[in-house]
């Protein structure tokens, strides 16, 4: 089972983890991911890594302002459907530097006068350029912390960054895969089986893995276990249930059964400096670690109202009309029209990127909706 990265210098976080493992034994893969991404002063996001054209990777909001304009239109649709309440709360989780928030506000949605916009981001370094007119939070709010009114919880590429456990099917049953230290060679971090009292996972967890992966999953199959994502979703759904509203998440997803039949290094990915990085155990803290999200595991928390591709979602909420509007503005004024017309003229290329089936357009959008109390 042992797997390790290259012989590159380990870095301070690797040294810290190795020392902890030497004292206390192997750690879960979820613990490793949490440290690699969020360890104060050493984790990828705490050191300034993240989304942006001059940073490490591009998400839909960084393609351009069009994604934010479509989302502003979606907010208006939802607001009208709720009866145009005088107060509506938007909780945007994993908001990064606020790119999406700026684009939505710049689009001047009809609901702007009723909207209370909260950005949630655990990495404080992200807030060096936070947008005006919003409230920033370091953790998910409780109902009592928010103004009155229905709630929309929005998360774009959040769940794939929440720590996840890793399990593997062996002849003895499913076992947890964690991170240890290679004592024989140079002390590198390696993947190891995490000891459990009976050598394998308890019977209830064995059955859970079999059900998710399918009884015919091959030996050596690996699965992510999205316990952090499930807990976050439970909190988000509870907030929307109490207030009325919806929870909408965008991410790249598959089913557990599909993931179990693919090499794990296909669905656990690393990113840095606008490209794919190396093995997840190489130089922890130097790159983003992300995984495809098993949508069936989210459905165990609550069945969604709707599941569609990002291309379908954006089409439903008027991206084609915005592109046509942009084409008309460009044809009328061209380059002399100023920044607004320049942005309008770029909508067609942005739409192509946002709806491409082999790229962002193939992402999954999952929507849970709740009536007003």
- Across 45-54, 264-273, 290-299, least confident range: 45-54
Average pLDDT over residues 259-273: 92
**What's the pLDDT score for residue 208?**
96
Indicate the number of domains in the chain: 1
**What's the pLDDT score for residue 185?**
58
**What's the pLDDT score for residue 98?**
87
Residue 6 falls inside a structural domain: no
pTM: 0.91
Residue 269 falls inside a structural domain: no
Structure tokens at 326: 């942009």
Tally the residues of the chain.
Answer: 373
Q: What is the pLDDT of residues 333-345, one digit of tens each?
A: 766 666 777 777 7
- Across 37-46, 52-61, 192-201, 275-284, least confident range: 52-61
Residue 184 falls inside a structural domain: no
SS3 267: helix
Q: What is the pLDDT of residues 205-229, one digit of tens each?
A: 999 999 999 989 999 999 999 999 9
Q: What is the DSSP letter of 94?
A: S
Which positions ≥6 away from 76 have C-beta within 8 Å? Answer: 109, 110, 111
pLDDT at position 3 over 70: no
Phi-psi region of 90 (alpha: psi -120 to 50; beta: other; left: phi over 0): beta
> Tokens 């357009």 belong to which residue?
361
**What's the pLDDT score for residue 6?**
45
Residue 288 falls inside a structural domain: no
Domain region containing 335: 308-368
Residue 221 falls inside a structural domain: no
Residue 327 falls inside a structural domain: yes
Residue 333 falls inside a structural domain: yes
In this prediction, residue 315 has a pLDDT band, given cuts at 50, 70 and 90, of: very high
Structure tokens at 295: 């949508």
Decide which of 331 and 7 is more confident.
Answer: 331
pLDDT at position 125 over 70: no
- Across 72-86, 117-131, 149-163, 270-284, least confident range: 117-131
For residues 118 and 107, what is the distance between their CA atoms, to the nearest angstrom?
Answer: 17
- Is the distance from CB of 223 to CB of 209 less than 8 angstroms? yes
Residue 41 falls inside a structural domain: no
Average pLDDT over residues 86-111: 93
> Tokens 């503005």 belong to which residue?
329
Average pLDDT over residues 158-180: 95
């Amino acid at each position: 089972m042992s797997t390790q990265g290259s012989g590159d210098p380990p870095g301070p976080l690797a040294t810290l983890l190795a020392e902890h493992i030497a004292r206390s034994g192997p750690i879960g893969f979820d613990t490793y991911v949490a440290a690699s991404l969020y360890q104060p002063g050493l984790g990828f996001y705490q050191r300034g890594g993240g989304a942006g054209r001059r940073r490490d990777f591009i998400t839909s909001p960084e393609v351009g302002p069009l994604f934010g304009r479509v989302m502003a239109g979606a907010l208006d649709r939802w607001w009208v459907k709720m009866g145009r309440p005088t107060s509506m709360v938007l909780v945007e989780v994993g908001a990064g530097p606020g790119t999406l928030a700026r684009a939505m506000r710049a689009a001047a949605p009809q609901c702007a006068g009723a909207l209370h916009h909260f950005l949630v981001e655990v990495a404080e370094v992200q807030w060096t350029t936070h947008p005006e007119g919003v409230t920033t939070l370091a953790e998910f709010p409780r109902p009592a912390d928010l103004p009155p009114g229905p709630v929309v919880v929005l998360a774009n590429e959040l769940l794939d960054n929440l720590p996840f456990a890793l399990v593997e099917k062996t002849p003895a049953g499913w076992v947890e895969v964690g991170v240890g230290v290679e004592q024989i060679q140079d002390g590198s971090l390696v993947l190891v089986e995490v000891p459990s009292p009976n050598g394998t996972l308890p019977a209830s967890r064995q059955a859970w893995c079999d059900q998710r992966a399918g009884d015919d999953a091959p030996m050596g199959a690996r699965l992510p276990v999205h316990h952090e994502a499930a807990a976050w979703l439970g909190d988000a759904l509870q907030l929307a249930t109490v207030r009325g509203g919806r929870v909408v998440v965008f991410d790249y997803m598959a089913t557990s059964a599909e993931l179990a039949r693919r090499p794990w290094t296909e669905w656990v990915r690393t990113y840095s400096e606008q490209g794919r990085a190396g093995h997840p155990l190489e130089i922890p803290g130097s790159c983003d670690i992300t995984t495809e999200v098993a949508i069936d595991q989210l459905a165990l928390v609550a069945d969604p109202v709707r599941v569609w591709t990002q291309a379908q979602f954006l089409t439903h909420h008027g991206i084609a009309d915005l592109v046509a509007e942009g084409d008309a503005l460009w044809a009328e004024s061209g380059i002399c029209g100023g920044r607004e017309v320049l942005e309008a003229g770029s909508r067609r290329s942005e739409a192509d990127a946002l709806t491409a089936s082999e790229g962002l357009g193939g992402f999954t959008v999952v929507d849970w909706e709740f009536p007003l109390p």
